[in-house]
Amino acid sequence: MGDSWFETDGAVTERTEPMSATRIERDPLGELPVPGSALYGIQTERARQNFPISHLLPLAPFIDAVVWIKKAAALTHKETGRLDARRADAIVRAADEVLAGEHREHFVVDPYQAGAGTSHNMNANEVLANRANELLGGRRGEYQPVHPNDHVNMAQSTNDVIPTAIRLAALAQLPALLEALTRLARAFLAKGKAFDQILKAGRTHLQDATPIRLGQEFTAYGHSVERNRDRIAQAADALRDLGIGGTAVGTGLNAEPAYPGLMVKHLRVITRLELREGKDRVQLMQSLGDAAAFSGALRTYAVDLGKIASDIRLLASGPRTGLAEIVLPPVQPGSSRAPHSSPRSPRRSVMTRPRSSRKRRWRSTSRCGSW
């Protein structure tokens, strides 16, 4: 079938550079042409051909997290003397360029890949090695004096790099998420006070039950968001325990005794995150329980957020034959058969769940209340 990155079941993908603009690289499997302008190398090219699954690119926070680890490793090995200053400094400079937003187009391995992230790890190793060699006067694809495995990946394994990167990437996104939830909770609580004098029907199974104030409903929404925020923060704390330094199976083979502690020290400085050296690196590498618990907290928030959005959509239904107890601000007209503004923001929340935390301005109405 040829290059599977070009053709998958007859579909042509986005790779457009001419095949003549290539260089030949070699690995234990043989030779392979690699785009001449690419900072990545043969292992990345094999992965690009082997995994044309989603045609998505890796997320920026994940790229950052892996490059943080590579930078920390270079600094650690320079400190211990295992890596000479010339190579280490070049790797650090290359990493800093990537972290500043450069060379992102060279991280090309599909997120859906086999091998527990080996292909992405090698993608980062090759990009940093080739760029470091350029900084030292070398050319792409020669891997001298900086080698992707021997120097960029020194004392590392995909098995400790990728789990650590997952933790770092999630923690890096945490402050913005918690701040967004705080803003959303405050907005609900403010409306709870504004609507506190508005009496309405409370309902169960859409049937009228007992009276309740609209403010009580909105205050409860705010408290739900607060509880979810605190639950997410608590679940995230376990992600701060890092297993980096465990190498292949957690035992630290090929890593110096000081390596794990120094890695955590440098990662704290690089990321400005609160991080801890893991007590049991075998456990941290073999278990994704901490990441699963964090994911579970996010999913729990998604459930609550979806319920809140569905409530608001129902309360805003109408305007003639629905409940019409609140009026949402118009953001987009409906179809020709339903020209009234449709509840776009609640619908977006139901569809995307945890990604919606945008605060809207609300106003009161004579019936009950309004956003």
Report the catalytic residues. 205, 335
Distances (CA, A) of 357 to 40, 173, 340: 37, 14, 24
What lies within 8 Å, CB to CB, of 98 at 6+ separation is: 63, 67, 104, 127, 128, 131
Rounded CA separation 171/177 (Å): 10
Rounded CA separation 18/55 (Å): 19
**Three-state secondary structure call for residue 155:** coil
Q: What is the DSSP string of 92-105?
A: HHHHHHHHTTTTGG
Any idea what the Cα angle at residue 48 is, between residues 141 and 152, rounded to 5°? 45
- Report how many helices (DSSP H) and strands (DSSP E) the chain contains, helices first: 10, 8
What is the end-to-end Cα distance of the chain in Å, rounded?
Answer: 56
CB 343 within 8 A of CB 316: yes
Report the DSSP beta bridge partners of residue 173.
none
Tokens 């190498």 belong to: 247
Rounded CA separation 103/69 (Å): 17
- For the chain, give percent helix, strand, coil, nearest 5: 50, 10, 40
Rounded CA separation 164/58 (Å): 16
